[in-house]
Chain A
């Protein structure tokens, strides 16, 4: 639960203790302090004595020896119609000089209240930025969201956002005189397309499987499990450019949160190919943690997808980036991690794949 205030760039927002947030408007290059600071309070239960609460907020974060000179009080409404009160004040130093200008906005959202305290080091900067800041404050609205689901639909929140059914979607490779049509019809378009795609994939008919999975994706564009099948088909067909483009799309969809299940993924398999007596799974990391982290993994697996003790890793990190060689290559085997070298950019995918096969074969041969 909090107030939503939309501070555009170059404002910086920081969390502060006690459920507060601070928005900072950086000063010019030579400035030693921000042009404006807005302290945003937590959403509280509406105080029994609002006047005392407001006076306390206006006088908060007072420098030692300063005193408050209260200015105008204005009754306003936010753009949505919520009651908002504005209170002007100046902080005075020991010789009555103005050391800070303040505007405090008080919001009353049903039985809750909060404030946003705007501070500038002088009147000039308040005059310079005041109108824009008031516009931001005027658009303030409550966000009642808590971690607790409000209803059952919110508790069941690991389902992709389903698209409305589309009856007249043109599907690839589906015609009424083909047997697939009957299957499509029997299972329903989406499940039919997926079943057909899966069957064709098992038969290594990747081009036809791609058509089927693209049909499924057209019907359910937010289902990232289907998107992964499309990516794997592109790689299986050697459509590397399309595969890379779809992986980019996949990451964008993960970031957009269209399929909440994707938030749980650490990494995903985007390609699988055969080696000499083993298979290789190519994985892309989605949740990177730490100063140095793996971006791509080529892992040797057996025919049951059980990992074998060999993986070719492409890592990156702050240190590697600052050295101008962001990619670090290594092989993980029973003997541990062996760093092989660094590169300014990733080699082309066929080259990377060939290198992975060579290194994994060698590592597996060594481990017996």
Chain B
């Protein structure tokens, strides 16, 4: 929950807190548990549907937020009209995997727009969950138009013509490794051929779009003698203290070059979980405070 200043009036509901600053002119509402975790557009639509008097005129750029604990979130600015006066609305969410939280701030006093815009962002960023290091989903660009099937934190993707095209891409959650990252990589590679009589394997290097050096293992094998040839690839990146793994498996020999290219695209689109400077700046995937100034208003 964000830390509302102690002088603010707070009213509590079921997984809900509404807070009013003493200056008046604004209302903050915090939703503590939205389950299952909705997308940011679903959260925004739900909040706006509960307030049909607010007529949205413009929607700003979505900001990819990083909280003080390194959790991912999103924040957006909406301008609109409510009861005949111009209002600003600042919506934020934090995505925790199993659930999301949301912060809805509406400001009716124009002289307070700037102050509460900043306050809304900072309150969202200050949310604390104390969930620490744990397996977590991370950012990558999923293969376009493929079927996605969740399995807990694992995302499985299948091509549109599956099962004729027997191919699958699995993206495993980032896993914290406290002791020996190299050992974790070696164990993952050793397990990559599980269930196959491996006929060939090749190690390669992989560099993500964010400049992270990773490793790629390609192997071919068969489940049993005489059965179809199966192609597997395992991409691994290590950025302390997490290991990031993605897998491709396919028996669609004819499409293999395109499938490998597509897998490489997914793998290299990966972004490691927030680093210290992203936590400090409150923004994901920025390199410096100059990038933070890069937001475009709508």
Contacts and interface: CB of A to CB of B under 8 A. Distances in A.
18 contacts: A80-B160, A149-B37, A150-B142, A150-B148, A150-B155, A151-B140, A151-B142, A152-B95, A155-B39, A156-B40, A156-B62, A156-B64, A264-B56, A266-B80, A267-B57, A269-B57, A289-B52, A307-B85
B58 interface: yes
B86 interface: yes
B44 A80 contact: no
Interface of A: 80-82, 110, 141-159, 191, 194, 225, 228, 260-269, 283, 289, 301, 304-307, 309
B148 A265 contact: no
B41 A158 contact: yes
Given A142-B147, A150-B149, A225-B297, 8 more contacts: A81-B163, A149-B38, A151-B140, A152-B139, A154-B148, A159-B62, A283-B57, A306-B85
A151 B171 contact: yes
B137 interface: yes
Where chain B touches its partner, the secondary structure class is: mixed
Contact of A266 (B57, B86, B139): B57
Nearest to A260: B41
A154 B52 CA distance: 26
B294 A191 contact: yes
Contact of A264 (B61, B78, B85): B78
A163 to B, nearest CB: 14
Contacts of B155: 150-151
B50 interface: no
Contact of A154 (B39, B81, B84, B85): B39
Contacts of B296: 191, 194, 225
B84 A309 contact: yes
Nearest to B44: A264
Contacts of B147: 142-144
Contacts of B81: 307
B164 interface: yes
B132 interface: no
A349 B109 CA distance: 34
Contacts of A267: 55-57
B128 to A, nearest CB: 20
A153 B41 contact: no
Nearest to B42: A147
Interface in B87-129: 95, 100, 110
A355 B56 CA distance: 26
Given A150-B155, A159-B62, A266-B55, A307 B39 contact: no
Contacts of A144: 147-149
Contacts of A146: 150
B162 interface: yes
Contacts of B76: 158, 261
Given A261-B62, A267-B57, A152 B138 contact: yes
Contacts of B28: none
Contact of A265 (B57, B72, B294): B57
A263 B78 CA distance: 12
Interface in B5-58: 36-42, 44-45, 48, 52, 55-58
Nearest to B38: A147
A261 B84 contact: no
B58 A268 contact: yes
Contact of A80 (B64, B142, B162): B162
Contacts of A141: 160
B243 interface: no
Given A152-B137, A155-B40, A264 B48 contact: yes
Given A148-B37, A155-B95, A82 B163 contact: yes
A44 B131 CA distance: 34
A267 to B, nearest CB: 6
A283 B38 CA distance: 31
Nearest to B156: A150
Contacts of B171: 151
A307 B147 CA distance: 47
B212 to A, nearest CB: 16
Contacts of A80: 160-164
B121 to A, nearest CB: 15
User: Which 4 residue pairs of A and B lie closest in terms of their CB atoms, listed nearest first?
Assistant: A225-B298, A81-B164, A261-B59, A266-B55
B74 interface: yes
B294 A153 contact: no
A268 B148 CA distance: 35
Nearest to A158: B62
A102 B60 CA distance: 53
Tell which of A143, A144, A301 has the most Cβ of chain B within 10 Å.
A144
B141 interface: yes
Nearest to B147: A144
Contacts of A148: 36-38, 150
A219 B114 CA distance: 30
